[in-house]
Structure 1
Amino acid sequence: MTHNLLFCTAEEAKPFVPKILASEQAQGIYPYALVESSQGFQPGQPYRDQLRKDDTFNTDFIGASINDCGAWALSKENNKYLYTDTIITVDALSVEDETVTLWVYPLHQDAPFLRRDQEPEIWYPFRVHYTKLWPLLVEFLDMGRPADTYGTLFMRNEEFTDANGVFDFDKANEIILTGNGG
C-alpha cells in the first residue's frame, strides 16, 4: 500500500496523531505514514502507520513550515510506497477542531484544472475534518484526477470553504455527484 505522509508540527498536537492514524482502521487500512525524522525512514525501521492512544513519539518537524515538510516529501519522490505530492500536517488548531491540513502539490500536467491565478508546483492547503481526509484523498485525488473533482477542489475551493477555513468535503462531493462539479 502507498502511504500519505503525516507531519506533526506542534507539540500540543501529538496526542491527536494516534486518532488520525487509526481513523480508517475499521476498514482495515492504515493509509498514513508518520514522519518522525528529518533523516527519513531508516532501513529495517518502517514508518509508523499506527500508534496506540498512549504511545509517544518524537518528531523533527515541530515548528516546521509547509516548505520544510513539502521539501522533505518531494525529496522522497522516488519512493514507490509514498505519495509525495500530497502531505498532511497536524498543528495546534487540529487539537481544537479535529481538523488537519491536506497540502496538494499540483504538477504541470494539472495546470488546466487550476484557476488562472494559481500555478502548478506550489503547495495548496485544504483544511478538513480528519474523518473527511481519506474520502478527500480517494474521491478527489486518487481517482485519476478527473476534471470535475480536481477542478472543484481548486477552481471552486472558496465556495466549499467555511469562515473557519475548513473545506466541506460533503458539500463539494454532492455537487460533483449531481454532475455540477469542475
Structure 2
Amino acid sequence: MSSILLFCTAQEAKSLASKISKHVETTEGYDDALAIVKSRGEVSADEKFETQPDANGSLETQWVGASVEEVRDWVLQNQEKLRDNEIADANLIAILDYRSAKDETIRMDYYRDRPGLPFRESGLHPEEGGPPYTEVEILPPKSDVWYSFRIRYQHFHQLVADLTGVTSAEVVFPYYFGRKDEFLDDQGIFDLDKVFDAL
C-alpha cells in the first residue's frame, strides 16, 4: 500500500508520533504505512520520507505551528510528485495537532479529487430505468474538497483501508459521507467501531 503522509503541527504531539508508528506497523501489510513529513520544502524526485520517528522518540519537523490549510496546500502543490514517485497516497493525510496530544486522536483529512459515486437506498439505478440521481444521492457530495475525520489512533488501519480502496467504496461511502454525524461520539470523534457494527 502507499504510505499516508503524517504531519505533526504541535510540539506537544511529537511524542505521539512514535506510539502511532509502532501501533500502525503491528498490522500485516502496513509496513511503512506512514510517511513522516519533516520539511516544508518541495518534494524532490527521489524523496524518501522516514517511517519511524528518531530512535530516541524525538521528531524534528518544520510543521509545528502550521495550520491545517498550510498542510493541505503543501500536499496539493506536491501531489503530482508524490503520486508519480509512488511516495504516498496524496489524497489522505494524517495530522497530529494540539488536540492529538490531549486525547491521542489523529485528524485524518481526505481529498476527493473526482466526482462522487451515486448511491440510492432503494429503487432502480438510472441505467435500469430509474430516475436520475439527485445531488444528495452522490457521495461524497462534492469534488475537489477536503473531508475531515478525527479518529482514535487505534482505528488508523480501518479508515485507511476504507478510504484508499481496500474496502469497496459502495460499502463504506454511505457511512463516511452520508451518515457521518450518526457515528460521532460525544467528543466529536468519528467512531469506527460503530461504523463496523453498522456494516
TM-score grouping bracket, smaller chain normalisation: 0.7 to 0.9
Aligned match for 1:89, one of 88, 92, 95: 95
CA distance change for structure 1 residues 44 and 77 in 2, over 3 Å: closer, same or farther? Answer: closer
TM-score, normalised with respect to structure 1: 0.85
Write the letter of the residue equivalent to 1:70: R
Q: Tell me the CA shift for residue 42 of structure 1.
A: 5.6
1:99-114 → structure 2 map (5 Å cutoff): 99-110=105-116, 112=118
Identity of aligned residues (%): 27
List runs of 5+ in structure 1 lacking aligned partners.
Answer: 177-182
Alignment match, 2:3: 3
Per the alignment, in what secondary structure is the counterpart of residue 79 of structure 2?
coil
Contact 2:8 2:63 in 1 (8 A): yes
Alignment partners' CA distance in 1, 2:159 and 2:87: 19
Q: Tell me the CA shift for residue 44 of structure 1.
A: 6.4
TM-score, normalised with respect to structure 2: 0.78
Per the alignment, in what secondary structure is the counterpart of residue 26 of structure 2?
helix
Worse-matched range after superposition: 51-60 or 65-74? 51-60
CA distance change for structure 1 residues 3 and 91 in 2, over 3 Å: closer, same or farther? Answer: same
Contact 2:116 2:141 in 1 (8 A): no
Per the alignment, in what secondary structure is the counterpart of residue 26 of structure 1?
coil
Alignment match, 1:36: 38
Contact 1:152 1:172 in 2 (8 A): yes
Give the total of aligned pairs. Answer: 176
Name the larger-Rg structure. Answer: 2
* Alignment root-mean-square deviation, CA: 2.4
Contact 1:10 1:91 in 2 (8 A): yes
List runs of 5+ in structure 2 lacking aligned partners.
Answer: 120-134
Q: Would you say 1:164 and 2:190 are equivalent positions?
A: no
Aligned match for 1:153, one of 171, 176, 195: 176
